[in-house]
Amino acid sequence: MNHLPLIIKREYLTKVRNKSFIIMTFLSPFIFVGIFALVAYLSSLNNDTVRKISVLDESGLFADEFNSTPHTQYTLLHNVSLEEAKQTAENKEMYGLLYIPKTESLEALSKKITFYSEDSPSLSMMGDINDMLETKVNTLKLKEAGIDSETIKSLRINISANQETFKGKETSKLGSGLKLAFGGAAGYLLFMFIIIYGNMIMRSVIEEKTSRVIEVIISSVKPRLLLLGKIFGTTLAGITQFLVWVVLILVLMTVVTSVFGIDPATASPSQQIVENSVDGGTQQILHDVMLEINNLPITNLIVMFILFFVGGYLLYASLYASVGAAVDSETDTQQFMMPILMPLILAVYVGFFTVIDNPHGTVSQVFSYIPFTSPVVMLMRIPFGVPIWQQIISVVILFATFGGMVWFAAKIYRVGILMYGKKPTYKEIFKWLKY
Amino acid sequence: MEKLLVVNNVSKVYGDYKALNNVSIEVEKGSIFGLLGPNGAGKTTLIRIINQITMPDTGSVILDGEPLKPHHIQYIGYLPEERGLYKTMKVGEQALYLAQLKGLSKQEAKERLKYWFDRLEIGDWWDKKIQELSKGMAQKIQFVVTVLHKPKLLIFDEPFSGFDPINANLIKDEILKLRDDGATVIFSTHRMESVEEMCDHIALIHKSNKILDGRLVDIKRQYKNNVFEIGLITPNHAATSALLKEKFEVYPATFKSINDELQYKVKIPDSVSTNDFVNYLTSQGQLTHFVEVIPSASDIFIETIQKN
């Protein structure tokens, strides 16, 4: 008798028909896109505010430098004392007052420039002002030393070393960035998936305990089969939800950006950078990106993504299920959650710090074999080129551990599901393994 | 008589707690077997072993002549004491699911469910969710699901809990009918009156050991101790009373009667036959009531537990 498909079907249908599941499936994308639109809207509001700054330049050196921008307007003051200038700035509700005194030398000047304002001024604006002043003072300094700044500019050469592997493949910074994006996205996706749907499995096990249906069920099927059915069924439900989310978010994003005319880029803090690179020719960049994507081991990536994603998820899912079996209610799960989350968080840390720094270093290598961290770490390493045999070993270890974990979880499960009203300790759970 | 189930010297240890110690039982085909014992005696552990939910540490279980194997699950119908159903699932869907887990095809399950739902007059619950039903209603569904696959061996753990007297009777009659149709029933309960009414055979488990086992009538015969309840109309109650107390072990008794009579429970020694005793009593006055006191299942239960 093979009941596995039957169990999977029930688990899947129960999950998918659940009201809160349906609501979350369709509501989340709206919330997500809504927040996105709100942030985009707010930051565009922020950009619209104009800061008025009065400048009292007693040195007279910077008169030509203050060019107003759409966001910052400079007003040069002449023939007023500092006190008067402060007074007017405050009365006219100016954002601030930049005071440049007259001094004997440029060195002394550099220490005496002061910015007065109501509250602490915006960091980025102060940075802009400081940069501008610094450039000017440096140019003046060069002039004093008898060096023409134009000459220096013309002598400057920018270097960006060409990167090439020993086998003659060209690599580039853009490529590394893309690889990171691929690996990071894959690792992060897995992380989120485990946390969301692992919990779902745990709850479903607890529900069977609290509704007391469990003993009826396991007098018909083996606990291991029920456990597997639960994991697969919930995973399928999770994948369904994920797909709906992706499709809905894409559709909504398109609608929001076209209807409300919000440029997605304005929502990101790296707006400047994007704009700069757009100046450099969108066509060129797109072309480069496509080229780099073609350089990535796409087939390898997709196959391994699926394997590691499935393996990693199943491994953690069986852990969650055994926690569910061990406890009576969700409030009791806390003490067992830490040991599950620790390796997961460790994997993400190793992934985002060590792998980025050195994809093939010892630490990265070791963690890409440990089954609890390998799904995230190996997925992040693969775009940088990992020999196939290493990937295969890691996958085999992962699935072997999953097999062992299911055995372990089923042990806890078959004892735990029949224990009611007691909060188990680690010691007791260890004992259950021997029953 | 042919045995459907034989449990041989089964022991089970949980950590440092011995749940079952060398327990053996034999259940005859077509009988109702009462598995009795105080709370925590080990009944549920034994039942779980028969259902292959846990494995015995030592000993063996033989079902219908074969050592217990996974496929035997479909020959057993088990109604656990800790029972419930998926709360958010619809009645029909759920019953179909559980029936399929027991190896029925969907079509078969549907037909049999229809039969049972009609029989118990619960046909219009099909599309309701379990959480909309009362506890008694849910118990009925649970009962149907337990017997649906026509198991050879039915195991009921406290089957009547949660039922009102009418429904309890209904279920009792269904269980008896299933027995008449050839099923063998193991029945675990604390309700001694249903043991009395239904069981052919009982086993008593106490502190992990089986301390009593046998046909209910045999056990009763064994536990009766020549005590008779009598009613006697005499010319002089006080004198006869004194006389009886002198000759026999006498206990007070009360039973409903229309006469003004002496009422006693009298234990007669083995040397005195029942006929002699009756003759003696009639010589003393008019005998209006004479019944042998047979121990009830409840008496046997309490007495045996206290002895151990």
Cβ distance of A217 and B84 shorter than 8 Å:
no
Nearest Cα neighbor of B249 from B219, B293, B212, B208 is B293
| pLDDT for residue A276 is more than 50 | no
Domain ranges within chain A, ordered by starting residue: 50-154, 173-253+295-432
Please give the angle made by the CA atoms of B147, B153 and B157, to the nearest 5 degrees. Answer: 70
Residues of A within 8 A of B84 (CB-CB) are: 211-213, 216
Residue with the larger pLDDT of the pair B7 and B260: B7
Cβ neighbors of B113 (< 8 A, separation 6 or more) are B92, B95, B96, B99, B144, B148
Q: What is the DSSP string of A32-62?
A: HHHHHHHHHHHHHHHHH--EEEEEEESS-SS
Digit-coded pLDDT (tens) for A166-213: 765 656 666 777 777 877 888 888 888 888 888 888 888 888 888 888
In chain A, the residue whose alpha carbon lies closest to the alpha carbon of B145 is A216
Q: Which amino acid is at A382?
A: I
pLDDT for position A171: 60
**pLDDT beyond 90 at A214:** no
Angle at B266 between CA B261 and CA B270, to 5 degrees: 145
Please check the confidence at residue A277 and state whether its pLDDT lies above 80: no
Across the range A277-301, mean pLDDT stands at 66
Write the residue in B15, B86, B100 that is nearest to A211 by C-beta: B86
Separation CA B296–CA A280 (nearest Å): 99
pLDDT at B121: 85
CA distance linking residue A300 with residue B303, whole number of Å: 76
3-state secondary structure A228-291: HHHHHHHHHHHHHHHHHHHHHHHHHHHHHHHHHCCCHHHHCCCHHHHHHHHHCCHHHHHHHHHH
* pLDDT recorded at residue A433: 67
Task: State the average pLDDT for chain B.
Answer: 89
Rounded CA gap, B113 and A19, in Å?
28
Distances (CA, A) of A170 to A161, A257, A386: 11, 37, 17
Residue B186, beta-bridge partner list: B33, B155
The count of residues in chain B is 308
Taking every pair of Cα atoms in chain B, the longest distance, rounded to a whole number of angstroms, is 78
Q: Mean pLDDT over all residues of chain A?
A: 80
Q: What is the mean pLDDT of residues A271-299?
A: 60
Question: Where is average pLDDT lowest: A421-435, B160-174, B178-192?
Answer: A421-435
pLDDT of residue B203: 92
Q: DSSP secondary structure string, A393-425?
A: HHHHHHHHHHHHHHHHHHHHHHHHTT--S----
Mean per-residue pLDDT, A354-368:
83
The pLDDT assigned to A272 comes to 42
For residue B73, CA distances in Å to A11, A39, B62, B64 come to 22, 59, 13, 12
| The CATH number of the domain covering residues in A50-154 | 3.40.190.10
Q: Do A212 and B70 touch (CB under 8 A)?
A: no
Taking CA atoms, what residue in B is nearest to A221?
B101
Please tell me the predicted confidence (pLDDT) of residue A269. Answer: 44
Mean pLDDT of A302-327: 87
Cα separation of A371 and A401, whole Å? Answer: 7
Chain B residues inside the 8 Å CB shell of A6: 97, 100-101
Structure tokens, A425: 């300790």
Instruction: Give A-chain residues touching B19 at CB under 8 angstroms.
Output: none
Spatial distance between the Cα atoms of A401 and A379, rounded to a whole number of angstroms: 18
Average of per-residue pLDDT across A18-28: 89
pLDDT at residue A267, rounded to an integer = 44
Q: Which of B253, B22, B61, B289 is nearest to B155 (CA)?
A: B61
Of the two residues B150 and A73, the one the predictor is more confident about is B150
User: pLDDT, tens digit, for every residue of A147-167?
Assistant: 877 787 788 787 777 766 676
User: Smallest CA–CA separation between A431 and chain B, in Å?
Assistant: 7
* ipTM score for this prediction: 0.78
Going by C-beta distance under 8 Å and a sequence separation of 6 or more, which residues neighbour residue B234?
A: B240, B262, B284, B285, B286
The 8-class DSSP code of residue A383 comes to: G
Q: Is the pLDDT of residue A280 over 90?
A: no
- Tell me: pLDDT of A137 over 90: no
pTM for the structure as a whole: 0.73
Half-sphere exposure (Cβ direction) of A386: Cα atoms closer than 13 Å: 29
Range A338-363 average pLDDT: 84
pLDDT of the residue at A275: 43
Task: Give yes or no for residue B173 having a pLDDT over 90.
Answer: yes
- Give B213's strand partners: B203
- Percent over 70 (pLDDT), chain B: 100
Q: Is pLDDT above 90 for B34? A: yes
Give me the pLDDT at residue B152, please: 93
What would the mean pLDDT of A259-275 be, rounded to a whole number?
A: 50
Q: Quick one: pLDDT at residue B114?
A: 92
What was the pLDDT predicted at A273? 42
Q: What is the pLDDT of residue A266?
A: 47
Q: Which has the minimum average pLDDT: A227-231, A280-284, A325-329, B163-167?
A: A280-284
Written as six digits, the tokens of A281 are: 């020719």
Q: Determine the pLDDT at residue A434.
A: 62
Q: What is the pLDDT of residue A423?
A: 61
Q: How many Cα neighbours within 13 Å face the side chain of A45?
A: 6
What is the model's pLDDT at position A213? Answer: 87
b/e string for B206-220 if b means 16 or more Cβ within 10 A? Answer: bebbbebbeebeebb
**List of chain B residues whose C-beta atoms are within 8 Å of the C-beta of residue A222:** 70
According to the per-residue pLDDT averaged within each range, which of A185-199, A250-264, A351-365, B59-73 is highest?
B59-73
User: Which residues in B260-308 belong to E strands, given as ranges?
Assistant: 262-267, 286-292
Residue A270: the pLDDT is 42
The answer to whether residue A260 scores a pLDDT higher than 80 is no
B179 Rama sector, left if φ>0, alpha if ψ -120 to 50, beta otherwise: alpha
Sequence-ordered list of residues with C-beta below 8 angstroms from that of B130, at least 6 positions apart, any chain: B85, B86, B87, B88, B89, B90, B91, B94, B138, B141
> Which chain A residues are Cβ-neighbours of B86 within 8 angstroms?
14, 208, 211, 213
CB pair distance less than 8 Å for A212 and B83: yes
Task: Give the three-class secondary structure for B249.
Answer: strand
State the pLDDT at residue A282.
60
> Which of A179-193, A311-325, B126-140 has the weakest average pLDDT?
A179-193
Percent of chain B with pLDDT over 90: 37
Q: Which residues of A touch B145 (CB under 8 A)?
A: 216
Alpha carbon of A223: minimum distance to chain B alpha carbons (Å) = 9
Query: What is the share, in percent, of chain A residues with pLDDT greater than 90?
Result: 7
Q: Which residues of B fall within a CB distance of 8 Å from A411?
A: none
Instruction: List the alpha helices (DSSP H) in B60-206.
Output: 91-101, 106-119, 135-147, 165-180, 192-198
B197: pLDDT strictly greater than 90: no
Residues of B with CB under 8 A from a CB of A: 14-15, 48, 51-54, 70-71, 73-74, 76, 78-80, 82-89, 97-98, 100-103, 142, 145
Q: Among A393-397, A427-431, B104-108, B250-254, name the one with the lowest average pLDDT.
A: A427-431
Residue A397: is its pLDDT beyond 90? yes
Cβ contacts below 8 Å, chain A against chain B, sum to 69
Task: Point out which residues pair with B204 in neighbouring strands.
Answer: B36, B212
Residue A16 distance to chain B (closest CA, Å):
12
